[in-house]
Amino acid sequence: MHESTPRIEPPAAPGSGRARVLGSWTAAHIAERDVVARLQAELKAASASDGWDLKEATQLDHVGAQLLWDHWGQTWPAPLDMLAPQKAVLERVARFTVKPRPPRKTSWLRSYLSFGEAILHAVDHGKAFVRLIGQLALNLGQLVRAPHEGPWRDVSGHLYRIGATALPITALVGGLIGIVLAYLTSQQLKQFGADAYIVNILGVALIRELGPMLAAILIAGRSGSAITAQIGVMRVTDELDAMRVMGISHSFRLVMPRAMALALAMPLISVWTTLCALGGGMIAADISLGITPTYFLTALPQAVHLNNLLLATSKSIVFGILIALIGCHFGLRIKPDTQSLGEGTTASVVTSITVVILVDALFAVVFKDVGI
């Protein structure tokens, strides 16, 4: 073993002498492979000695001193022989070592207070969100009275970034979902000889439910997070404060253009996603059941009423407005630090997807008799 290797030399017999600390107890030597595990085993074996002798250690820095101090239970062992520089290092480690706090015991009072805090936090979010909806309504009224003052350039820019750039990913996901749904459905319909009903199943499922919800979930994860991140970065770089100083309304220039763009883009993206899903389902139905595309396109208008398309379009508009408002809500509440930016973006995506699913379930219950 090399002379600089940190090691412990225990006394010949337990209780018959002092344990000698040898070698270089520095970060460079302790960081070598398996050194810490070996030193801890040697320290444990030397615990029964009468004391400790550090005078023969060639080097001792704060890493080595911390290892010894923790083994000693953060108390000074007696007797302890050491040089003045070693004593200075150990005293510095002892002064700045903080004992871990004992785990707090959970009690019914603490749980009750935590539950109350969560309720108040949720109520605060709800009040701010309702206030944002009211401010959006006022801004839309102002836009109707003075349309020439509207932020139309911002609306067109968001419409392109949210709508046009999302077409490839929504087409891919929609087409794959249509193929999967058609293949799984065809396996069940074959057993009953009801191959032709795949048009009804795919039509109602994709046009009424899956198409709009898939598009909304993709846009919530893609554009909702981008909205929160954009406004959050403006908070971090003090642009929101600069807008307030210049008298520029956050809701008029930031919230309203995004809400309008998503309200316009979501129905179009929903229809696009539904068409791609129907295309994938039509191809899969032709391969698995022999349902030709001509028959599929002919039977689809008879299987799916127009009310289903109108309901899907209405849902998509609501989804778009909610995604935009949730993204803006969390973006405006971000604090000027990077940790809050990440937490706010994550909360925005999770909340948007959850709200989309809840609202879709509400639409399904309220309009259960429409188009069926």
What's residue 9's pLDDT? 83
The token pair at 184 is: 């799984």
Asked if 32 and 159 sit in the same domain, the reply is no
- What is d(CA 51, CA 17) in angstroms, rounded to the nearest whole number? 7
Same domain, 16 and 139: no
Task: Give 66's pLDDT tier (boundaries 50, 70, 90).
Answer: confident
Same-domain status, 140 and 182: yes
Q: Is the peptide bond before 79 cis (omega within 30 degrees of 0)?
A: yes
Is residue 323 within 8 Å of 129, Cβ to Cβ?
no
Residues 6+ positions from 299 with CB-CB distance below 8 Å: 196, 199
Same domain, 150 and 277: yes
Q: Are 139 and 51 in a shared domain? A: no
Last residue of a domain, one of 81, 96, 111: 96
The stretch 55-83 carries a mean pLDDT of 84
- Rounded to the nearest 5 degrees, what angle is found at the Cα of 102, between the Cα atoms of 100 and 105? 150
Verify that 216 and 70 share a domain, yes or no. Answer: no
In a domain, 256, yes or no: yes
Whether residue 102 is contained in a domain is answered as: no
Residues 289 and 182 in one domain: yes
Question: What's residue 102's pLDDT?
Answer: 66
The total number of residues shown for the chain amounts to 372
In a domain, 221, yes or no: yes
Neighbours of 331 (CB within 10 A): 29
Residue 371's pLDDT band (cuts 50, 70, 90): low
Task: Determine contact, residues 187/285, Cβ cutoff 8 Å.
Answer: no
**Residue 114 placed within a domain:** no
In a domain, 277, yes or no: yes
**pLDDT of 14:** 65
Look up the domain containing 74 and give its range: 7-96
CA distance 264 to 246: 30
Does the pLDDT value for residue 33 go beyond 90?
no
For residues 174 and 253, membership in a common domain is answered with yes
Tell me, yes or no, whether 372 lies in a domain: no
> Which amino acid appears at position 178 of this protein?
G
Is the pLDDT score of 226 beyond 70?
A: yes
- Note the pLDDT of residue 63: 86
In a domain, 139, yes or no: yes
* 225 and 136 together in one domain: yes
Give pLDDT tens digits for 266-293: 999 999 999 999 999 999 988 888 888 8
66 alpha-carbon distance from chain centroid = 37
Separation CA 283–CA 281 (nearest Å): 5
What is the distance, to the nearest Å, from the Cα of residue 189 to the centroid of all Cα atoms in its chain? 39
- pLDDT tens digits for range 90-136: 888 888 887 766 666 667 788 888 888 889 988 998 999 999 999 99
pLDDT > 90: percent of the chain: 37
- For residues 92 and 130, membership in a common domain is answered with no
pLDDT at 1 over 60: no
pLDDT in the model for residue 139:
92
The tally of domains found in the chain comes to: 2
pLDDT, tens digit (0-9, with 9 covering 90-100), for 146-162: 988 888 998 999 999 98
Same domain for 86 and 27: yes
Is 240:250 a contact under the CB 8 Å cutoff?
yes
Residue type, 176: L
* SS3 per residue for the chain: CCCCCCEEECCCCCCCCEEEEEEEECHHHHCCCCHHHHHHHHHHHCCCCCEEECCCEEEECHHHHHHHHHHCCCCCCCCEECCHHHHHHHHHHHHHCCCCCCCCCCCHHHHHHHHHHHHHHHHHHHHHHHHHHHHHHHHHHHHHHCHHHCCHHHHHHHHHHHCHHHHHHHHHHHHHHHHHHHHHHHHHHHHHCCHHHHHHHHHHHHHHHHHHHHHHHHHHHHHHHHHHHHHHHHHHCCHHHHHHHCCCCHHHHHHHHHHHHHHHHHHHHHHHHHHHHHHHHHHHHHHHHCCCHHHHHHHHHHHCCHHHHHHHHHHHHHHHHHHHHHHHHHHHCCCCCHHHHHHHHHHHHHHHHHHHHHHHHHHHHHCCCCCC
The reported pLDDT for the residue numbered 69 is: 83
Measure the CA–CA gap between 112 and 148, rounded to whole angstroms.
Answer: 53
Domain membership flag for residue 326: yes
Give the span between the Cα atoms of 16 and 49, in whole angstroms: 7
Residues 262, 134 share a domain: yes
199 is written with which tokens? 């048009």
Could you read off the pLDDT of 297-340 as tens digits, one per residue? 888 888 888 888 899 999 999 999 999 999 999 999 998 888 88
- Cα separation, 148 vs 146, whole angstroms: 6
